[in-house]
Structure 1
Amino acid sequence: MDKDIRIIYRVWGWEVTAGVSIIILATILLPKYLGGGFTTLPEFINNRFDQQTRLLIVLLFMVGYGFITIPSVLYSGSIAVLQIFDIPHLFGITFEQSVWAIVWLIGIIGTLYAILGGLKAIAISDTLNGIGLLIVGILVPILGFITLGDGNFFIWNEDNCNTPS
């Protein structure tokens, strides 16, 4: 078997398990969750189990956010900012120093935004970001096909097709 095919199967395996997990969540757990009128997962856990289990799960979530999610977001955001603005060259600092500076800057801005704006500001920005991602997600393939088809995305003709003669 070709090496590239094995890599594709590995990626495919992750996607299949994600699909199975979503189906299980939607058919088994979601009806119980919605039927109880819960608004948060800790509320569901507290009702289903006891307070100690709820605290343990909340602690695990917070540790996961603190050590996995937030550092990943801060680092990837800093790398994106560095690639766009070339901070090391602008300020005459090393790449590592600029990564740390941008990580702290993004973290401070995000913290101030959440503290001063509250949950309503976060919900509004999440909604606007979701709408923007949806629009861009629809536009990317359309603009790609227009570019690949020399602007003939909506017109079918034999000149822009790679059909054997």
Structure 2
Amino acid sequence: MKNLIFYLTILLLTSSCSDSQIVIIDEKVSSNEKLNALDSSEVFSVARWHKGDAPPKYAEFKNSELVIVKTKNYESQLQEERHSQLSQLLNEAENGNDILMILNGVEILKEQLHLLKQLKPQDLNSVERLEKGVAESIYGDNARTENVLINTYDLKTDWIDE
């Protein structure tokens, strides 16, 4: 059933295919043939963007429809990179750097930072640095020189208080 749903999704994505449709697989421009050749077990996510609606990251394709596919292998690589980045930031914080960390919208207190080491690579959806000015506009006086937003796939944060 899962494979059937996947193939119906791919069929819908490519059936209304126009000459201006761009297929992107794992951040690389690809083809409908490669899209159709993917097995459903390889796919992490699929998104379709209409002309003019593409995210800023894909601004160069704003006059095209986009089909963006991320494979499980590629997402796994990204998760490892995010985890490495988070580990480095936590080490910097342990060594005295003043870093504001926000986990799923909740500020993590200094004495709770060590708990973030419990996060596994597969937990991490994103780890992003915020510029100080942006952080100040959101978090006011709590903003620091370095500000980090961490989002997990499971948005719960109650384990931090345990």
Q: TM-score band, normalised by the shorter chain? A: under 0.3
Higher relative contact order (Cα pairs below 8 Å, separated by 6+ residues): 2
Q: TM-score, normalised by structure 2?
A: 0.25
Q: TM-score, normalised by structure 1?
A: 0.25
Normalized per residue, the structure richer in strand is: 2
Normalized per residue, the structure richer in helix is: 1
Over alpha carbons, which structure has the higher Rg?
A: 1
